Amino acid sequence: MITSLVRSIKEDVGIPATLHHVLQIHPELRVGLDAPPVDIAASSVVQWHTWADLVRWELRGWRYDGISYSAFPVNGALFSDFTTCDITEGWECDIQDVSGLASSKSDLKSFSTLDAMVETNAQRMITPMSRDKLGENLAWKEIRILHGDNSSDYFARYRWDNRLFLMNDGGSHHFAAARYIAARLGVPVPLLGSLRTYRVNGPKIAALRAEFDIFALSRTPAASNAFLEAMRRFRATYISTPLPRPFDDRRAILLPKAEPRSAKVATALRSAGFIDLGEHLKQLLARR
C-alpha cells in the first residue's frame, strides 16, 4: 500500500515509477529484432511489406483525456505506403540468380540453399547429371515461369534482404533440380517474368521517427497488461500495433515526442535497453 502510494506521488510529479517497476519484474518485455535464420522460404523474410495492412486492422491508441485513461481510434493511414512495390514486366535473369521459393511439398524452412533441398529430397531428379536430365526437369509444366504467357508465377526481391525469390505455385523440386544440374554443367537457363521489388519507404520512416519514439516490446499477455497499467497510472499516450511475421510475437510502441509524459516513457525504455525500432527501420534503408 505504501509503495503504491509512493509511486502514485512520483507519477503525479512526472516520474514513471510504476513503469520502472514493471520493467524490472517483467524482463520478458524486452525483445530483440535479430534477423531470422536464412532459409529458402520467401515467407521467412521479414514481412515488412505486409505491415501497413496488418496495422490497418490492429492499430490501437491509449491516452488520458482529462477524465479517464482509455483507448482512442488511430488512423491506419499512419503507416500507409510504409513500403513501395515496383513492378517490372518482362524481367530477365538466369536460374542461378534465384535463391528461394514461395511454396513446395518440402519444408523450405528446413534448408539454407536450394541445392541442399535437392540433395536431400530429390536425388532421382539430378541423376544422372546430364543435359537430358536438365531438359527433363525444365520440361515439367508446373514450372510455370517457363510455360505459358499468363503464368501466375513471378519474381520477388525484398530490398531489406536482397535475395531473389521465385513466387511459385508448384514445380519446386524440378526447378531446383534443373538449377542444380545447370550449375554443374555450366549451362545458362534464362528466365523471363514479372519482378516485384519491395522497398521500405524512406520518407515515411523519417516522418514516423520525427513524430514518435518507436520501440519493440513483447506481446506476452501478462507483461503487456502490466505495461498498459503502468501507462494508465502515468497517463502517458502511446500507440500499439503488432509487428509483421516472423516478429508477430512482438509489437511496436509509438510514443508521441510532443507529449512530455510519453517522452519520459521513451527515456525509460531506452535506458532499460529496449530496441529502438525507429533506428532499426532507418538501418533497413541502407540495405537498398
**Helix (H) or strand (E) segment spanning residue 261:** helix 260-271
d(CA 216, CA 277): 6
Closest CA to 208 of 200, 198, 217: 200
Supply the pLDDT for residue 14: 63
CA distance 228 to 71: 11
Q: What is the pLDDT of residue 87?
A: 97
Of 37-51, 85-99, 138-152, 165-179, minimum mean pLDDT range: 138-152
How much is the pLDDT for 243? 95
The predicted structure's pLDDT at residue 77: 83
**Polymer length in residues for the chain:** 288
As a three-state string, the secondary structure of 88-127 is EEEEEEEHHHEEEECCCCCCHHHCCCHHHHHHHHCHHHHC
pLDDT of residue 7: 65
State how far the Cα of 235 lies from the Cα of 212, in Å rounded to an integer. Answer: 17
Residue 232 pLDDT class (50, 70, 90 cuts):
very high
Q: What local confidence, expressed as pLDDT, does residue 184 receive?
A: 97
pLDDT band at 111 (very low <50, low <70, confident <90, very high): very high
Strand partners, 156: 165, 196
Q: Is residue 75 over pLDDT 60?
A: yes
- pLDDT mean over 233-247: 95
What pLDDT score does 17 carry?
87
- Residue 57's pLDDT band, with cuts at 50, 70 and 90, is confident
Look at residue 122 in the predicted model and tell me its pLDDT. 95
Percent of the chain with pLDDT over 90: 82
pLDDT at 167: 97
Mean pLDDT of the chain: 92
Over the stretch 117-145, which tens digit does the pLDDT of each residue have? 999 999 999 999 999 999 999 999 999 99
Q: What is the mean pLDDT of residues 246-274?
A: 96
Residue 13: is its pLDDT beyond 70? no
Is the peptide bond between 73 and the residue preceding it cis, with omega within 30 degrees of 0? no
Place of cell 534443373: 178
Cβ atoms of 214 and 208 within 8 Å: the answer is yes
Predicted TM-score (pTM) of the model is 0.90
Inter-residue long-range contacts of 259-265, CB under 8 Å, 24+ positions, other chains counted = 260/14, 261/14, 261/16, 261/234, 261/235, 261/236, 261/237, 262/213, 262/236, 262/237, 262/238, 263/213, 264/14, 264/15, 264/16, 264/234, 264/236, 265/16, 265/19, 265/231, 265/234, 265/236, 265/238
Q: Is the pLDDT of residue 147 over 90?
A: no
